[in-house]
Amino acid sequence: MREKWKTAAAVLFWLAVWQLAAMAIRQQLFLPTPASVLAALAELVPTADFWRRVGFSLARIAGGFFLAAAAAAVLAALAAALDTVEVLLRPLILVVKTTPVASFIILALVWLPSRNLSVFISFLMVLPVVYTATLAGIRHTDPQLLEMARVFRLPPARRVRAIYLPETMPYFVSACSTALGLAWKSGVAAEVIGLPDGSIGEALYQAKVFLTMPELFAWTVVIILASMLFERAVLRLLRWAAARIAGTKEAV
Amino acid sequence: MSITVTGLCKAFDAKPVLHGFGFSLADGETVALMGPSGCGKTTFLRILMGLETPDAGTIEGLRGLRIAPVFQQDRLCPGLSALQNVLLVAAHPAQTAAQAEGLLRELGLDEDDIRRPAAVLSGGQRRRAALARAVLADGDLVLLDEAFKGLDEATAAQAIDFVRRRTQGKMVLAVTHSAAEAAALGARVVRMPARPD
């Protein structure tokens, strides 16, 4: 609780800094005040268009994230089991990891309709992060437990549920926590470049074009909040799953 | 059913651990393997478990045997309860739950201990859960690697009695440093020579 108050105080501090800076600059075009951003937000939130945009972007970014997390888990399991898969994936993951997101967005615009661009881009940003961490998790599985499983001839399903999953879940959850933020950042970046109709990215771009800075800031606040809430919901779900796996009655 | 080991050799980084070791275990027999620390007792058990490959020598009678070990470390899944750990090795966990619970109670674990995650159990409780697991696994060959180490006198006596009753008719090979433990198990003692220089 104490920590929450400290965080709230820090947020208030930076809001005050923002307010003072805006008052010093006195140009809404460069830096709108927190109050004007709040007013823009209050205007946006009750409209149907706002919720449609949030729904549009959320569905696609979440879709990209979940697809990538699932693919990363499967690929990591395959790579841990088969050396050839790991070797084959190595350059691919390295390329995805190091290529600037803007390059992928522009390339993907050639291949895909802009409506689904953010699904693909979020997928690409999340995949290497979750894959690398999950593979590391599998490889750090306690060798003593694996020997025990081998000597007792545990069936593969029991090995996975009782040994691999509990040992790998912390790595997977931690990687997902990092990747959730990445999914939002890259997904919205893709929308700003691809400008799919009815997306948050498009609204952000329009606010910039028409120089409606309070609106631009308001949409940015929306992205931050949506990203935070989504991250919390997903992490809660994953932690619940991890706790169930760690001590589940069905583990056997 | 019997096991005969002849001329077993194993070296790690060119340092010999086992050198021409010979050994036999008759059907239903309990043998206590004794010898100075580092003489290769655990290495020998690991070879029997298929976790190490010998450099030379033969082992007859091991093929197809189900092995039920108690490792020097308990090797329980930390997130699973004592009962879940024991049931992990059961062929049909649902049908064996009552039996597994009975084994744990026989070893002195109470209702709470049985259902607590292995990670929060005491060392002695984990040891006894590992013993119950080896018994429930219903192996043909039970391997005990210092399985009673760390238990207080009374609990060790209870655990030894448990093993003696529950492994009757099976081949049991127990690594121990205690002659009293070997005697309590009713075991024939085999002494391993010190590691060759």
Between CA B126 and CA B83 the distance in angstroms is: 11
Is the pLDDT at A46 greater than 50, yes or no?
A: yes
Give me the domain span that covers residue A43.
32-246
Question: What pLDDT is recorded for position A86?
Answer: 96
Q: Is residue A164 part of a domain?
A: yes
Measured between beta carbons, which residues in chain A are less than 8 angstroms from residue B68? Answer: 152
Q: Is the model's pTM score more than 0.80?
A: yes
The count of structural domains within chain A is: 2
Report the gap between the CA of B168 and the closest CA in chain A (Å).
Answer: 20
- Test A162 with B88 for CB contact under 8 angstroms: yes
Between CA A131 and CA A142 the distance in angstroms is: 19
What residue has token string 């040994």? A163
Question: What pLDDT is recorded for position A113?
Answer: 87
Based on the number of CB atoms within 10 Å of its own CB, is B37 exposed (0-12), middle (13-18) or buried (19 or more)?
exposed
Phi, psi of B66 (to 5 degrees): -85, 130
Is the pLDDT at B3 greater than 80, yes or no?
A: yes
> In this structure, are A17 and A98 located in the same domain?
no
Question: What pLDDT is recorded for position B14?
Answer: 85
Q: Is residue A38 part of a domain?
A: yes
- Test A152 with B89 for CB contact under 8 angstroms: yes
Question: What pLDDT is recorded for position B43?
Answer: 94
Instruction: Give the CA angle between residues B193, B37, B74 to the nearest 5°.
Output: 125
Is the pLDDT at A1 greater than 70, yes or no?
A: no
3-class secondary structure, B175: strand
Please tell me the total number of residues recorded for chain B in this structure. 197
Between CA B60 and CA A84 the distance in angstroms is: 36
> In this structure, are A84 and A20 located in the same domain?
no
> In this structure, are A15 and A64 located in the same domain?
no
Among chain B residues, the shortest Cα distance to A162 is held by: B77
Q: Is residue A251 part of a domain?
A: no
Is the pLDDT at A47 greater than 80, yes or no?
A: yes
Report the gap between the CA of B76 and the closest CA in chain A (Å).
Answer: 7
Mean pLDDT lowest for which of A41-50, A114-123, A241-250, B57-66? A241-250
> In this structure, are A164 and A133 located in the same domain?
yes
Cα pseudo-dihedral A201, A206, A211, A212, rounded to 10:
-80
Question: What pLDDT is recorded for position B9?
Answer: 93
Question: What pLDDT is recorded for position A3?
Answer: 86
Q: Tell me what percent of the residues of chain B surpass a pLDDT of 70.
A: 99
- Test A251 with B71 for CB contact under 8 angstroms: no
CATH assignment at residue A143: 1.10.3720.10
- Test B77 with A162 for CB contact under 8 angstroms: yes
> In this structure, are A64 and A95 located in the same domain?
yes
Alpha-carbon torsion (A16, A19, A21, A24), positive or negative: negative
Question: What pLDDT is recorded for position A29?
Answer: 79
Q: Parallel, antiparallel, or unpaired: how do β-strands B3-12 and B15-25 relate?
A: antiparallel
**A247 band by pLDDT with thresholds 50, 70 and 90:** low
Q: A3 or B87: whose pLDDT is higher?
A: B87
Residue of B67, B71, B84 lying closest to A252 (CB–CB): B84
Question: What pLDDT is recorded for position A25?
Answer: 87
Cβ of residue A143 closer than 8 Å to a chain B Cβ? no
Cβ of residue A163 closer than 8 Å to a chain B Cβ? yes
Both ends of chain B: CA-CA distance in Å? 35
DSSP B44-98: HHHHHHTSS--SEEEEES-TT--EEEE-SS----TTSBHHHHHHTT-SSHHHHHH
Q: Is residue A226 part of a domain?
A: yes
> Tens of pLDDT along B140-154?
999 999 999 989 999
Q: Is residue A151 part of a domain?
A: yes
> In this structure, are A18 and A83 located in the same domain?
no
Helix (H) or strand (E) holding A18: helix A2-25
Is the pLDDT at A195 greater than 70, yes or no?
A: yes
Helix (H) or strand (E) holding A217: helix A213-247
- Test A152 with B68 for CB contact under 8 angstroms: yes
Q: Parallel, antiparallel, or unpaired: how do β-strands B188-191 and B171-175 relate?
A: unpaired
> In this structure, are A8 and A105 located in the same domain?
no
> Tens of pLDDT along A70-123?
999 999 999 999 999 999 999 999 999 999 999 999 999 888 888 889 999 999
> In this structure, are A9 and A36 located in the same domain?
no
- Test B51 with A151 for CB contact under 8 angstroms: yes
> In this structure, are A98 and A20 located in the same domain?
no
Both ends of chain A: CA-CA distance in Å? 38
In one-letter notation, the amino acid at residue A165 is: L
> In this structure, are A183 and A89 located in the same domain?
yes
**What's the number of CA atoms in the CB half-sphere (13 Å) around residue A70?**
6
Question: What pLDDT is recorded for position B10?
Answer: 93
In one-letter notation, the amino acid at residue A52 is: R
Measured between beta carbons, which residues in chain A are less than 8 angstroms from residue B75? Answer: 144-145, 147-148
Measured between beta carbons, which residues in chain B are less than 8 angstroms from residue A245? Answer: 79
> Tens of pLDDT along A153-193?
999 999 998 999 999 999 999 999 999 999 999 999 999 99
Q: Which residues contact B123 (CB under 8 A, 6 or more apart)?
A: B74, B150
Measured between beta carbons, which residues in chain A are less than 8 angstroms from residue B67? Answer: 151-152
Residue of B67, B69, B84 lying closest to A251 (CB–CB): B84
Q: Is residue A72 part of a domain?
A: yes
- Test B75 with A247 for CB contact under 8 angstroms: no
Q: Is residue A79 part of a domain?
A: yes
> In this structure, are A161 and A217 located in the same domain?
yes
> Tens of pLDDT along A197-227?
999 999 999 988 888 889 999 999 999 999 9
Q: Is residue A252 part of a domain?
A: no
- Nearest residue to B174 (alpha-carbon basis) of B146, B194, B141: B146
Between CA A106 and CA A196 the distance in angstroms is: 14
> In this structure, are A3 and A46 located in the same domain?
no
Cβ of residue A250 closer than 8 Å to a chain B Cβ? no
DSSP class of residue A116 equals G
Question: What pLDDT is recorded for position B197?
Answer: 63
Between CA A219 and CA A41 the distance in angstroms is: 8
Residue of B66, B69, B80 lying closest to A162 (CB–CB): B80
Question: What pLDDT is recorded for position A117?
Answer: 92
> Tens of pLDDT along B72-121?
999 999 989 999 999 999 988 888 899 999 999 999 999 999 999 999 99
